[in-house]
Amino acid sequence: MNDKNTYSVDKYLKIIAEKEEVQQEIGRAVSIALKSPDPQMQRFWTDFPCENETPTIEEIIYHLAEKFAKES
């Protein structure tokens, strides 16, 4: 493999690692938010559109992006 290909692979591996780190951070934040005793937060999660009892990171990102797009 030449230097150009090595650079490309390293670049993409770094992008993937950063994406996974962001997803883990979102997951931790969601986990904390789901346990919040705040009644308003509990209503937010109870009314959150998801396929299972707890929303996935992808569902959260999609829903919030859609919501923000409608508001702007």
63 Cβ neighbours under 8 A, 6+ residues apart: 48, 49, 55
Residue 5 is predicted with a pLDDT of: 62
The pLDDT of residue 6 is above 90: no
Residue 21 is predicted with a pLDDT of: 92
CA–CA separation, 3 vs 12, rounded Å?
Answer: 14
The pLDDT of residue 1 is above 80: no
Residue 23 is predicted with a pLDDT of: 85
Average pLDDT of span 34-51: 90
The pLDDT of residue 61 is above 80: yes
